C-alpha cells in the first residue's frame, strides 16, 4: 500500500513537472539559454569577409528569435565532429545545419527548413575518362568526419577507402591536389567553397547523385522538451507563410 502511494505521488509529480515545463514561457526561456553551434557550410552558414556569421540558417534563426521576442546569443563556429559530439551529449546546446537521415533522427531532434538539396559524388573533370571506368565503391574518397557524405558512401555505396577530414575546405583541397579521387558532398556547398577558396582552374563534375530530396535541419538534443520543438517548428511555419523565408533563400541564390 505504501509503495502504491509513493508511485502515485511520483507519477503525479512527473505529470505536474511536465505541464509546468511544456508551456510557451518555459520554451522561450530554454531557447534564450541555448549556446548555439555551427560549422562553416556556405551558403547555409558561414562567416563573410567581415567575419560576420551569415547564411540561410543564421538569418533564419535570428528571425525566429525576433519573432519570439527573446534574446539571441552569439553563435560559435566549431568543426563538424565537435558539433556532432556536443549535440549528442549536451542538452544545453543547439546547432545548425544537418541533413536529415533516419539514423540522425534517432540521435537528435531535427527541425528542418522547407528547402531541399542534392548530395553528389564529385571528381575532377580532368580525371573523368579514367575514374568513370572504375566502380564508384572503389574510389578513394575524402570526407568530412560524421558528415552526410561519409554516411552515404559507407552505407549506400559500401565504399571503404576514405580519408576523414575536419572541414569542407580540407576535403576540397585534398581533391584539387589529387590526394584523393572523389568527394561526396552538397554540390551547392562545393561550388560556393571553390569560389571562396579562389580555385578557378579546377572543374568538378558529378558522377553520381544520391537523391535530391535531402532536407537540412536545426539540431536539438534528444531530450529537448516538446514545448521547445513545437514552438520552434510553429515559428518556422509562420515565417514561411509570411514569405520571409523565401526572401532569405533567394538572397543566397538557392
Q: Give me the domains of the chain, ranges plus CATH numbers.
A: 24-116+214-251 (3.40.190.10), 119-209 (3.40.190.10)
Residue 197 has pLDDT above 90, yes or no: no
State the pLDDT at residue 212: 64
State the pLDDT at residue 146: 84
Residue predicted with more confidence, 127 or 14: 127
3-12, 69-78, 140-149, 165-174: range with lowest mean pLDDT:
3-12
pLDDT band at 227 (very low <50, low <70, confident <90, very high): very high
- The candidate with the shortest Cα–Cα distance to 209, out of 188, 184, 190, is 184
Question: What cell does 230 get?
Answer: 513545437
Mean pLDDT of the chain: 88
* DSSP helix/strand/coil, 156: coil
Q: What are phi and psi of 40, to 5 degrees?
A: -80, 105
- Number of other residues whose CB lies within 10 A of the CB of residue 42: 21
User: What integer is the mean pLDDT of 37-47?
Assistant: 90
User: What integer is the mean pLDDT of 204-218?
Assistant: 88
Which of 109-118, 190-199, 216-225 has the largest mean confidence?
Answer: 216-225
Which of 8-12, 43-47, 200-204, 227-231 has the largest mean confidence?
Answer: 227-231
pTM: 0.75
Amino acid at each position: 500500500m505504501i509503495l502504491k502511494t509513493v508511485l502515485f505521488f511520483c507519477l503525479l509529480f512527473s505529470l505536474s513537472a511536465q505541464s509546468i515545463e511544456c508551456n510557451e514561457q518555459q520554451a522561450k526561456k530554454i531557447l534564450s539559454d541555448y549556446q548555439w553551434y555551427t560549422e562553416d557550410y556556405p551558403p547555409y552558414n558561414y562567416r563573410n569577409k567581415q567575419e560576420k556569421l551569415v547564411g540561410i540558417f543564421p538569418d533564419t534563426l535570428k528571425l525566429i528569435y525576433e519573432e519570439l521576442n527573446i534574446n539571441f546569443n552569439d553563435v560559435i563556429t566549431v568543426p563538424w565532429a565537435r558539433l556532432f559530439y556536443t549535440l549528442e551529449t549536451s542538452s544545453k546546446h543547439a546547432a545548425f545545419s544537418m541533413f536529415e537521415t533516419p539514423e540522425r533522427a534517432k540521435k537528435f531532434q531535427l527541425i528542418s527548413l522547407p528547402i531541399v538539396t542534392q548530395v553528389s559524388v564529385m571528381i575532377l573533370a580532368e580525371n573523368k575518362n579514367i575514374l568513370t571506368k572504375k566502380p564508384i565503391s572503389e574510389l578513394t574518397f575524402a570526407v568530412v568526419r560524421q558528415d552526410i557524405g561519409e554516411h552515404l558512401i559507407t552505407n549506400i555505396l559500401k565504399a571503404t577507402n576514405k580519408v576523414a577530414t575536419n572541414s569542407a575546405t580540407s576535403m576540397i583541397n585534398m581533391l584539387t591536389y589529387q590526394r584523393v579521387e572523389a568527394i561526396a558532398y552538397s554540390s551547392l556547398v562545393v561550388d560556393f567553397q571553390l569560389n571562396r577558396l579562389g580555385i578557378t582552374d579546377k572543374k568538378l563534375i558529378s558522377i553520381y547523385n544520391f537523391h535530391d530530396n535531402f532536407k537540412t535541419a536545426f539540431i536539438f538534443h534528444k531530450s529537448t522538451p516538446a514545448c521547445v520543438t513545437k514552438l520552434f517548428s510553429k515559428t518556422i511555419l509562420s515565417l514561411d507563410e509570411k514569405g520571409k523565408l523565401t526572401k532569405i533563400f533567394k538572397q543566397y541564390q538557392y
